[in-house]
Amino acid sequence: MKQCLLLILSFLFLFVTPVQAAKPGKIGYVNMQEVIDKSQWGLQARETLKEKFGDKQQELAKERQSIGQLQQTLDKDKALMSQKELDKKTAEIREHKKKFQQKLAEIQKEVVQEEDKLANRILKPAPAIIAAVAKDKQVSAVFERRQSGLLYVDEGLDLTAEVIKWLDAKKLDAKK
């Protein structure tokens, strides 16, 4: 009986004692794509891509134009050509297009690999910087804006510019 009374008193004590609510935390978000696009590191990465692949892109543009000219010439002259000549020119254009597509796919693969490598160089220090910004701004949780599933977020919670500022203040190690 004493144990039952003690148990009932314990439960009553829990209900009577005010429960202190946890202090609501402040949240924020960061748009990592914007960090990559607008930070000095991101701008430098874009310049690196231009330097590395600019000539190849110009070469591809010339090849595309050359194929277009061959196609225009064929379209203009096909009424005057024999079927054998028409077939030969059509096969020639098809072969040029095939080689162009192979070259384009190869270069696109290289570009994607280089973009990933450069983006990872930018993203590697990001967690530490985001944590520092969050502590500085007294933020309890930080979400990635585009992947968070949040449908609406007050723009005042956006920490992206602050993260870019902190990232830009960090020296870029070109060797990594």
Q: How far apart, in Å, do the first and last CA atoms of the chain sit?
A: 73
> 25 vs 2, which has greater pLDDT?
25
Domain residue ranges in the chain: 27-169
pLDDT of 98 > 90? The answer is yes
Q: pLDDT tier at 20 (50, 70, 90 boundaries)? A: very low
Report d(CA 46, CA 54) in Å as an integer.
11
89 CB neighbour count, 10 Å cutoff = 17
Average pLDDT in the chain: 80
Q: pLDDT tier at 150 (50, 70, 90 boundaries)? A: low
The burial of 55, by beta-carbon neighbours within 10 Å (0-12 exposed, 13-18 middle, 19 or more buried), is given as: exposed
The answer to whether 126 and 35 are in contact (CB under 8 A) is: yes
CATH label, 27-169, candidates 3.90.660.10, 3.30.910.20, 3.40.50.300, 3.10.180.10:
3.30.910.20
Reported as a single tens digit per residue, the pLDDT across 37-73 is: 898 988 998 999 899 988 988 999 999 999 899 899 8
139 CB neighbour count, 10 Å cutoff = 18
pLDDT of 95 > 90? The answer is yes
Gyration radius (Cα) of the chain, Å: 31
